């Protein structure tokens, strides 16, 4: 064989695995890199009463920032958790529109930025592994406001949905979670992302877990919301997913729902809805369904300011007549 051909083949044999390794490293970097998008709206724009708040993630003490939106009529709170490469006021989801509907239905609301997003401290995206601590920190903050854990609900979108399920699996007191556009397990999602984002061979996905572990401490194969769902039972989870989601396929929600027989769980596949677009696609039905879900599974404690005294007197009168 010609000497130069031999040299070329040897060079190719050395270069090919190095190129594959470099490509896989870039994939991991890209998949875990958050985006710092500016927050252009606030609860003020929706005539909501709120305050700026800060608290820490439970797993690495990162400082997280958000809004606590209050209503005087209830001791219940919904923690809203946005998706990846977004922020607490994501207009694509309609985060503040949803918060407005929750407040109108007598829920306080905590909206905050996950690590690496919005105004919170820097951090990589880890598919829910570390973001779970962000949600746990949010829960602790709400408890510090005097809200009982049985009155706290989670509403998470995509990455926020995965983090919410993982957090609820570790906190047995949380009664109700809405997971919108969530994946079943991170390893499968990354495989689909590789094939969707690039024309490169899928075998490169074999390199990704090892690189993610060494570079960022991310245990891809252990981030499995589908296992968290089993630990959450018999508490209630409402899975919402767009029928035509091309980022996280609807099969993920179906797998999550069928992973365990829990009569308290719910599944709603929204026709013609893309990724985290279910509220924008069906706003009235979305609002009605999640409000009904939270009303069903969160305890209701009405403050004295909201008591209808005429109704109370009527109930007392009827109870007295029944003896």
Q: Is the model's pTM score more than 0.75?
A: yes
Q: What is the pLDDT of residues 10-57, one digit of tens each?
A: 554 555 454 555 666 777 777 899 989 999 999 999 999 999 999 999
Number of other CB atoms surrounding residue 28 within 10 Å: 23
Which tens digits make up the pLDDT trace of 110-140? 999 999 999 999 999 999 999 999 999 999 9
Strands of 63-69's sheet in order across: 50-56, 63-69, 108-112, 77-81, 152-157, 176-180, 236-242, 266-270
Average pLDDT, rounded, for the chain: 87
Q: Which candidate, 108, 91, 106, 101, places its Cα nearest to that of 42? A: 91
pLDDT in tens, 198-250: 555 556 667 778 888 888 889 999 999 999 999 999 999 999 999 999 999 99
User: Poorest-confidence range of 89-93, 115-119, 298-302?
Assistant: 298-302
> For 262-283, what is the mean pLDDT?
98
Helices (H) and strands (E) in the chain, counts: 11, 8
pLDDT of residue 213: 85
H or E segment to which residue 168 belongs: helix 159-170
- Out of 86-90, 243-247, 315-319, pick the least confident: 315-319
Give every CB contact of residue 206 below 8 A, 6+ residues apart in sequence: none
Show Cβ contacts of residue 128 under 8 Å, excluding neighbours closer than 6 positions: 159, 162, 163, 165, 166, 186, 223, 225
Residue range 145-186, pLDDT digits in tens = 999 999 999 999 999 999 999 999 999 999 999 999 999 999
What are the chain's domains?
Answer: 33-185+223-309 (3.40.50.1820)
What is d(CA 41, CA 22) in angstroms, rounded to the nearest whole number? 39
Q: Which of 188, 184, 292 is nearest to 238 (CA)?
A: 292
What's residue 10's pLDDT? Answer: 53
Distance of CA 319 to the CA centre of its chain: 44
């Amino acid at each position: 064989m010609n000497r130069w051909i031999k040299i070329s083949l040897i060079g190719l044999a050395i270069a090919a695995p190095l190129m594959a390794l470099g490509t896989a490293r870039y994939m991991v970097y890209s998949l875990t890199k958050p985006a710092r998008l500016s927050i252009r709206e606030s609860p003020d724009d929706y005539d909501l009463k709120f305050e700026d708040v800060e608290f820490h993630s439970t797993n690495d003490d990162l400082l997280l920032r958000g809004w606590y939106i209050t209503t005087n009529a209830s001791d219940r709170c919904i923690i809203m958790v946005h998706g990846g490469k977004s922020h607490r006021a994501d207009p694509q989801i309609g985060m503040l529109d949803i918060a407005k509907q929750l407040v109108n239905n007598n829920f306080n609301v905590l909206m905050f930025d996950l690590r690496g997003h919005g105004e919170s401290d820097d951090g990589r995206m880890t598919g829910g592994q570390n973001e779970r601590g962000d949600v746990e920190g949010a829960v602790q903050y709400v408890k510090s406001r005097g809200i009982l854990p049985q009155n706290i609900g989670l509403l998470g979108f995509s990455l926020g949905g995965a983090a919410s399920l993982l957090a609820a699996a570790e906190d047995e007191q949380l009664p109700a979670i809405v997971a919108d556009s969530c994946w079943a397990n991170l390893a499968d999602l990354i495989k689909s992302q590789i094939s969707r984002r690039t024309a490169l061979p899928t075998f490169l996905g074999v390199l990704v877990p090892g690189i993610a572990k060494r570079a960022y401490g991310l245990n891809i194969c252990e981030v499995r919301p589908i296992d968290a769902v089993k630990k959450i039972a018999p508490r209630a989870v409402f899975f919402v997913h767009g029928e035509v989601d091309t980022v996280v396929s609807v099969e993920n929600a179906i797998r999550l729902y069928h992973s365990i027989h829990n009569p308290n769980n719910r599944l709603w596949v929204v026709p013609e809805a893309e990724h985290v677009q279910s509220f924008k696609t069906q706003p009235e039905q979305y609002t009605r369904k999640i409000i009904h879900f939270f009303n069903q599974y969160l305890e209701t404690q009405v403050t004295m300011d909201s008591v209808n005294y005429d109704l109370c007197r009527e109930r007392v009168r009827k109870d007295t007549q029944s003896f």
